[in-house]
Structure 1
């Protein structure tokens, strides 16, 4: 009798267990994809806005630089969870910008070195909920506008994390090109590893649910 009851109990629990298991894989993946889509949308809108701004003052548009993109992502990660204040981002007093002790490691992650980044510019901004109109004005109507008004810069990398969005400007000279000796696609691949991991988790959850059904 006890064996029979145990079998009934485990049989009844099986659907609930499968649902729980599936949820453990599905929910984090959905949240990650939603966050990633929001960040991508903010990055795309900012790039369009910056290039429209530059076109309005007769400057060439900025071309996406994959290595600058990678570094922007690394810098954005450093700012993650830091609150927006009146002295952060575009409001930072010149000379008091954040200094990252691990900056050499951030460069190495993107296969960069100080030599070919010294003429580049890193511009972080903090905007609650990454409101697109406010994001753009944080760059075009702040101290950052001086860099956007310069013909010296020809390339750009943009990355967003939480309420932070980082723009990295590059030049077409050796001291600011953000060029590397390795395949520049490597930086883009590294940036996408997290997304691939969550997609694999989702597929694994679906597979486990199919096997246990």
Structure 2
């Protein structure tokens, strides 16, 4: 680990800081009733808190689309190839945390040739059946303290470590659909898009403000989101 940090940061000071900080166990968490002080109660309190926080309050209506209609649409979908899987494995980053399957990126890279054939069949089966194994959707969640009182669950941010195989499937799927997604995105959508930057929008806004001030024209600005 130390060698990896030194090679990546080229800094002894940063390496020492990383080793000194480490990760602290959460010793207690405040909930609605009292303080949770053992591991089981802490996990239950944190789970309930974030489930409620991220729970969708929007009613989802069934469009009554039959499975037959769904399968008919798959006739236009190109299945994954072994080359797709191999390219996705090459693009995976190393030195990353494992999910609940205990598989690290290096395992996939060293065994790329034999396992890419197996993953091609598995991923195509998921694509055709539209069913992802439940275990692949499970994640190991780590709570990172952001600020303030460490006993307050509101001051933590959850980080999910998902299965490495699920990461691989997500990468292959994204590569397949990203061109279609980009073609159907408006030019106004600059955030989180390859080849786009919100800096261009900010520059446009600055120029509008400068010109309206220069010619003493009124300007109205509307901000959406948070």
Into which bin does the TM-score normalised by the smaller protein fall? under 0.3
Bigger CA radius of gyration: 2
TM-score, length of structure 2 as denominator length: 0.23
Could you say which structure has the higher helix fraction?
1
**Higher RCO, 1 vs 2 (CA within 8 Å, ≥6 residues apart):** 1
